[in-house]
Every structure is written in structure tokens, then in C-alpha cells.
Structure 1
Amino acid sequence: MKKSLAFAVWLAVSTAASAASSATTPAAAVPDGPVAHTFHVGALEVIALRDKVRSIPNDARVFGAEAGASAVAAVLAEAGASTDHIDLSVDALLVKDGAKTILLDTGLGPSAQGLLLDSLKQTRYTPEQITDVLITHVHGDHVGGLLTRDGAQAFTKATVHISAPDWAWLQEQANMAALVKIISPQVVTFAPGDQVAPGIRSVPLKGHTPGHVGYQIVSGKARLLDVGDLVHSPILSLAKPDWTITFDKDRTEGAATRRAELAKLAANHETIFAPHFPFPGIGTIKAVGDHFVWQPAN
């Protein structure tokens, strides 16, 4: 029962995931190694922040439902990974741009043992210094950290930016009513594709949630794309981009978006931040035949 509840937190507002939650039992792990990784995008200071590591069992109920667990295991084995489970990081990104201190997504939250606030303590920034929170989408592992363990606003001085379709969808979720009530005074909505902060534009990535977006960060000639949940596993999402994933609200559209966007990223060699890839989740996509591979940044 506890494991089923943990999965519900992992993807609390996804209708598709709710259907799968009783059958999947992911474990959580405390991240080891560094929890804050600082780099630069042009003149911008950017920090990847660790929140949690999740482990999804390989039972073909999340990844490879149409292919079966044995096919998933074969792909994992070829990559030298464990064949009985899939590890997924949950990470966030902080961008410092002049007077703006911007957080992209908030992780699971302390009530689900998310460690984002602890990771933030390893930087020179505090929750009170966050001026803006940009949400890629409203699944629980991206918005849970908007609340403290006591259910109060975690980032009291911040404006919370959520796409209008996702905000409307979130308000329909009965199990997210408490979160909606607390954060409503902070929320400002935008249309996918809008500029949401200086140097940051939202990028529509259809299929995952009604208003799922990535965020394109630009400083001078330097660029970084936070891809949100375009991809989840650096093995399965790239080796088999056309496999559907239970996390996507529209699985067919999600798979089509994944294939098209990965092809673009491989062609233009753009650096991305993938919040569910192994920390710090910074790297590029390379095309190999009909699939793709992950190239972590040095």
C-alpha cells in the first residue's frame, strides 16, 4: 500500500498514471554524490539541483507496454543497465539572470521525501530569493515542491508560471485541491510558446499533459533547452522513442512529439537539460540509425 501511494505522489495528477499506479511500485533512493552542479549559459549562472531518484519496475506498465517486459529488458541489457528496473532522476534547474532568480520545476516536495530544498542549501541561494518558478507541467514530481512539508508556500516571494492548459487541468484534479488553494495567489498563466522571463521562452511539447512545455534559455549565442518530460530514460526514451509511455496523457501524440523533437535536437546539436536523466542531466542528443543516444556533457 505504501508503495502504491508513493507512485501516486510520483505522478499525482496524471490520469494515465493513476490507472497504472496500483500495478507499479517504484522505490525512492537518496541521491549520492553532488547535489548541485553549477555551469554557465552565456552570461547566465545555471545550477542543476538534485531532488530524488526513482526506480520503476520493468513490468512493461510504464515503458514498452506494447513491446513487453522481455523486449524492454533486452534494450536495457544492451546498454549495460539492470534489466529489472529503470532508474529515473528527479532534478530541477536554477537560472540567475540579473535581479531574477528563476527555478525551473520543484521536484516531488518534502512530503514525498524530495530533497530539492536541501540541495538548494548547498548553493548561495535561499527559497526566499527565488523570484520566479517556471513549471514545465503539473505532474506531482514537478509541482510537489511548491509546498513545504507543512503545506505552506515553499517559495514565498515567487511568481509561479504555469501554462494555461495545465493550470486549468490541475484545478480539475481533486487530489491536488490543497496545492491549488495554496499556490493560487502566486500563479500567472501563459500560452505555450510565450516568452515567460527575460531570455526564457516556453516551447510547446505536446502529448505529455495538456500544456506541457520545455523552456528555451538564451544568453548571447549560447542556448540551453530544458526538455521537461519529453524524455524520461536516457536508454529507453532514446533507443525506442516510438514506444508509448504511460506517463503521457496522449500517448500517441507524446511518442510523435518525442521522435520529432529528438530528431531536431540531434540535427542542431543543442545542449539540453533532461530532468529525469542521470544528474546533472546536461548533454546532447546524437542520432544513430533510426534511434538516438545520450551524450552527457563533460
Structure 2
Amino acid sequence: MSPQQPDTKAFKIGSLDVVALHDAQFVLPNDIKIFGIGHTPEEVGEILKAAGAPTDTVTLSVDALLVREPKRVVLIDTGVGGALQQSLDQAGTKPEEITDVLITHSHPDHMGGLVKDGKLAFPEATIRMSAAEWAFAKKNTQLAEIVKVINSHVKTFKPGAKIGPNITSVGLKGHTPGHVGYQIASGKAMLFDIGDTVHSSIISLVKPEWAVGFDNDEKGGEKNRIDTLKKLAKSNELVFTPHFPFPGVGHIQADGDHFKWEASVPEAK
């Protein structure tokens, strides 16, 4: 993991103030263990080269989303606990101001920032995730310490449940058993946080049918990825993707028989 630099990007979704928060950066080797499983580093390299990216590595951002509702301050995912707290500080938000933390899924790069120095990083917050995901998290020995600290603060829901006045959960199975996204809406304006439906802004869109080593269910992950990308390309709705280049806000577009990313951040107003 390269040096973790805080960063923020504020914008509006309808009347809501939203801030993309940078937490960390992963630089993975092109060794076909995560991307290009069953293919060759050369095949992956050709896709990266065509996009003007280095051919020997795949870079993923790790980001979170802050949503200020009228009576709540909501954080969606927490990164690995890298630069998130500094990014929040840049956004003018103290940890104790967070009222709700919504988790897309329980991988350490989304839950790691829940705990700091063995204590709750957001002491006043209710931590929300799908019931299936919480059950999955409690079985993960890597998360044992985090689960112990957050246990009494977790409130679960079924995918599709409305989590607040402006936020609705959306089931996106495949990556993990209870993986969800969050649809944020204010008036006619919408933003869809699609969690880890996609990872690389290049490979995930050019070859969505390729298995991804991060997926708990490779076939399920592939189906969700393709189905979701098709819907997003058709609807042209604004999305947040936590592993695309910061700030990870933009549109999925059809590009022949695959897809491409168009970064586009609404004005802060």
C-alpha cells in the first residue's frame, strides 16, 4: 500500500451535502491472482496498455462517502483506517458527529476504519449492515477484534430496506453473501454507491465477465457485475465506486460490447 494521503471532494445531491473521502491506495501486481484469473499477465497488460495505464500493476483507490442529512451525518464504509480520519477532518467533520455508519460489506478495506486504537472510531454511531453480511463478518477470524469492539453497536437490515429519509439499501449479491449498495436520493437527484460491484476502472469494465479474486462467489460476482453495469449504462445514473480513481464519482457508459468510465462530479453549489 502506497503512502496514504487525505483528500476530499464535496458536491451536492439535490439538497444533500455529500463528500467523497480518500482513505488509501492499493497497488497490486499484475500476477492474475485477483484480475485475469484463468488468463495471462500479457492479456491483462494489453487491456491496461490500451487505457494508457502501467502494464505491471493495477491501482485501486480506497474511498468512503459522507452524506449529511438534515438530522443525521452518515458515513458509508470506513476504508482500512488509513487517511480516513484526516479526510474527515478536512471535510470539517469530527468522528463523534457521525450518527450512522453504513457498511456495504465486511471486507477489511471497508470495515477496518470502524476501530481505532482498540476503540470505536465513531463512538456515537449506529453501525448498519445487512443481516447476512453481519453473520458473514462474525465468522471471519480476521475481523474478530473489530467484531468484538463493534458488536453492541450493530443494527442489521434486509437488503431493500430504507435506511434513512434519503438512503435505501440495494442487494448486490456475489462479492460477499450480504453485499449491498446504497441509493442516495434528494428530490430528483440520485447517487448510487455500488460498493465492490466493480474494482478496477479499466479491467472491471473492459472484461466484466472475468472472475475477480476478491469475490466470495466468483460466478455470482460476475453476474452482479454484468447485470449492474448494463442497468447503469442504460439509466446513465450517477454512481460512486469506492475503488475507482478518487473521487470515484461518475457514469458507466456502454462501449461496444463492454463498458467505460466517465468521471463526473456534480457542482458543490
Determine the structure 2 residue equivalent to 1:200: 167
Work out whether 1:255 is the aligned partner of 2:208: no
Separation in 1, partners of 2:247, 2:141? 33
1:125 matched to 2:97 = no
Aligned to 2:204: 237
1:213 lines up with 2:180 in the alignment? yes
Contact 1:281–1:296 (8 Å) recurs in 2: yes
Matched, 1:267 2:267: no
The answer to whether the 8 Å contact 1:201/1:216 transfers is yes
Q: Is the 8 A contact 1:287 1:293 kept in 2?
A: yes
Contact between 1:102 and 1:132, CA under 8 Å: does it hold in 2?
yes
Deviations 1:241-269 (A, max 9, x none): 00010000000110111011000000000
Alignment of 1:100-249 (within 5 A): 100-109=72-81, 114-148=82-116, 150-249=117-216
Letter in 1 for 2:10: T
Give the Cα separation in 2 of the matches to 1:293 and 1:176: 34
Q: 1:62 aligns with which of 34, 59, 71?
A: 34
- Once the two structures are superposed, residues 123-154 of structure 1 have per-residue CA deviations (whole angstroms, 9 ceiling, x without a partner) of 12110000000000000000000001x11000
Structure 1 segments of 4 or more deviating over 2 A? 27-31
Partner of 1:78: 50
> Does residue 30 of the first structure (1) align with residue 10 of the second (2)?
no
Question: Aligned AA for 1:68?
Answer: T
Q: Deviations over 1:11-52 (max 9, x none)?
A: xxxxxxxxxxxxxxxx33333xx7011000000000000000
Taking the TM superposition and a 5 Å limit, the aligned residue runs for 1:274-293 are 274-293=241-260
Q: Give the aligned residue type for 2:178.
A: G
In 1, Cα distance between the equivalents of 2:149 and 2:239?
32
The separation in 2 between residues aligned to 1:257 and 1:53, in whole angstroms, is 25
Flag structure 2 segments of 5+ consecutive residues without an equivalent: none
Which amino acid in the other structure matches residue 205 of structure 1?
A: L
- What residue number does 1:45 align with? 17
Identical-residue share of aligned pairs (%): 50
1:148-187 alpha-carbon deviations (Å, 9 max, x no partner): 1x11000000000011001001111123211111101110
Distance in 2, matches of 1:281 and 1:57, equals: 21
Q: Which of 168-177 and 227-236 deviates more?
A: 168-177
Say yes or no: does 1:87 pair with 2:77: no
Report the residue type matching 1:192 in the other structure. P
What TM-score, normalized by structure 2, do the two folds share? Answer: 0.97
> 2: CA distance between counterparts of 1:283 and 1:37?
13
Q: Which stretch shows the higher mean deviation, 191-200 or 265-274?
A: 191-200
Q: Structure 1: how far apart are the matches of 2:2 and 2:114? A: 20
C-alpha distance in 2, partners of 1:61/1:197? 38
* Counterpart residue identity of residue 251, structure 1: E
Q: CA deviation at 1:199?
A: 1.1
| 2:165 alignment partner AA | P
Q: Does the CA-based 8 Å contact 1:240-1:291 persist in structure 2?
A: yes
8 Å contact kept, 1:29–1:54: no
- Secondary structure at the aligned position of 2:233 is classed as helix
* Structure 2 counterpart SS, 1:224: strand
Coordinate RMSD, CA, aligned: 0.9
